[in-house]
Amino acid sequence: MTSINSDPRAETITVGKGDDARDIALLVRAADPARAPSAPALVWLGGYRSDMSGTKAIEMDALAAEGGLAAIRFDYSGHGASGGAFRAGTISRWLEEAIAVLDHVAPENVVLVGSSMGGWIALRLVQALAQRGSGPRVAGMVLIAPAPDFTIDLIEPNLSDAERASLAERGYFEEPSDYSPEPNIFTRALIEDGRLNRVLTGIIETGCPVHILQGMADPDVPYAHALKLVEFLPADDVVITLVRDGDHRLSRPEDIARMKAAILSMVENASDL
């Protein structure tokens, strides 16, 4: 099996053209040659303002190394090691980058691991791949504190008059972040584009098993939102694990253990197909 001490390969791809071009940073771990070619690659889809060097992303990569699996991590534009302006970011833009990353690495099968906003990207990604009719087969999804439609369901209904005025006048508003000294910035473009990428409007057909991990003490994405998501996945094998004292990050050792177990279950299920 691949040594856990081996390093993934750093790469950069360019997405978009002209003034819209941005360099996207990737970390790609190759699968152990002894692994069955059909073994899925693990794909990390991070959250809003998070990057591929976060705890859960690194732990996913370590799990891949231990099992000889391929793993793909990348930063959206405006995040981490990637180029591009953060304020230009939208769900459509970051989805385009996720598709470009998969096209570049070209795995046959994948397990998508989406955290927070990455859960929304994962759901849109599986829809986009199905609509396109090409790309990897999605063998499973692990969604951690998933935040699909968060701009519509969690931000817009709770905007203050001052925030609405800031959006109208400046094109963005700021709010304090519990995870960074820098404030969160939400743009009018992000919110308007979010309406075009809604997934909680009808049946979502992923065509694969889905495991949701959700903290019940999550201050950012209420666990009721995860339960709502389950209602839109009636055709899939869905498991939801509610962690009574879990927060939004779900990065404690016991949370990481749950994440790894969920991912391994997806890998084993894919191997049985």
Q: Name all domains of the chain by residue range, CATH numbers in brackets.
A: 9-272 (3.40.50.1820)
pLDDT tens string 194-230: 999 999 999 999 999 999 999 999 999 999 999 999 9
Range 155-176 average pLDDT: 95
| pLDDT score of 273 | 59
pLDDT at 5 over 60: no
DSSP class of 40: P
| pLDDT score of 48 | 96
- What's the whole-number average pLDDT of the chain? 95
Q: Which residues of 244-268 are buried (b: 16+ CB within 10 A; e: fewer)?
A: eebbbbbbeeebbebbbebbbbbbe
- Cα distance between residue 148 and residue 187, in whole Å: 17
pLDDT tens string 169-201: 999 999 988 888 888 999 999 999 999 999 999
| pLDDT score of 3 | 44
The Cα-based distances of 136 to 12, 27, 127 in angstroms read 20, 18, 12
pLDDT at 4 over 50: no
| pLDDT score of 2 | 40
Cα–Cα nearest to 56, from 70, 68, 71: 71
- Cα distance between residue 193 and residue 218, in whole Å: 25
What is this structure's pTM? 0.95
> What percentage of the chain carries pLDDT values higher than 70?
97
